[in-house]
């Protein structure tokens, strides 16, 4: 079980690295001047590659987490309300990941997107969710 847990942590940390960095690229994309085609295409290419890579990292992170939860019974039974809260946040993270994919599609298609300030705030969501998950898993407040 400890190997599964260690790999889960490594893949989660790696997935989060992408969740932290991709929206930062979106900030830069939102700031590209209208005539800077080469800069825009370079940032879209970087975003596409990062999104693919972070998706490949998310799959084993989620699979290993599921294995720990159902295979080893971590978080099952009474007094494990923290696991329900964690699973809700994981579902929000998967939704955030998908939302990043939709935003990337908009940038790639050249559709008008939100401003860089909005993307700066959007970039903070995974930080807050990671903080919440770590507190829930370590402290197990309920």
Query: For residue range 94-127, what is the model confidence (pLDDT) as tens digits?
Result: 999 999 999 999 999 999 889 999 999 999 999 9
Q: How high is the pLDDT of residue 110?
A: 92
Residue-number span of the structural domain to which 74 is assigned = 2-139
The structural domain count of the chain equals 1
pTM listed for this prediction: 0.94
Q: How high is the pLDDT of residue 64?
A: 97
Q: How much is the mean pLDDT over the chain?
A: 96
Please give the C-alpha separations between residue 31 and each of 19, 102, 110, 118, in angstroms, as whole numbers.
20, 19, 13, 11
Q: How high is the pLDDT of residue 62?
A: 98
Task: Assess contact for 123 and 20: CB atoms under 8 A.
Answer: yes
4-55 per-position pLDDT tens digit = 999 999 999 999 999 999 999 999 999 999 899 999 999 999 999 999 999 9
The rounded distance, in Å, linking the Cα atoms of 86 and 96 is 15
54-101 per-position pLDDT tens digit = 999 999 999 999 999 998 888 888 889 999 999 999 999 999 999 999
Q: How high is the pLDDT of residue 112?
A: 84
Give the rounded distance of the alpha carbon of 81 from its chain centre.
23
Burial class (CB in 10 A: 0-12, 13-18, 19+), 132: middle
Q: How high is the pLDDT of residue 74?
A: 81
Q: How high is the pLDDT of residue 72?
A: 83
The rounded distance, in Å, linking the Cα atoms of 11 and 30 is 29
SS (H, E, C) the chain: CHHHHHHHHHHHHHHHHHHHHHHHHHHHHHCCCCCCHHHHHHHHHHHHHHHHHHHHHHHHHHHHHHHHHHHCCCCCCCCCHHHHHHHHHHHHHHHHHHHHHHHHHHHHHCCCCCCHHHHHHHCCHHHHHHHHHHHHHHHCCC
């Amino acid at each position: 079980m400890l190997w599964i847990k260690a790999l889960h942590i490594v893949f989660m940390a790696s997935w989060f690295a992408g969740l932290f960095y991709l929206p930062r690229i979106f900030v830069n994309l939102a700031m590209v001047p209208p005539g800077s085609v080469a800069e825009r295409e370079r940032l879209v290419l970087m975003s596409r590659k990062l999104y693919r890579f972070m998706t490949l990292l998310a799959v084993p992170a989620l699979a290993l987490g599921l294995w720990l939860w159902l295979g080893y019974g971590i978080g099952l039974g009474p007094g494990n309300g923290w696991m329900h809260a964690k699973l809700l946040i994981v579902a929000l993270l998967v939704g955030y990941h998908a939302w990043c994919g939709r935003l990337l599609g908009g940038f790639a298609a050249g559709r008008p997107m939100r401003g860089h300030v909005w993307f700066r705030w959007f970039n903070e969501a995974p930080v807050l969710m990671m903080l919440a998950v770590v507190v829930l898993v370590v402290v197990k407040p309920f």
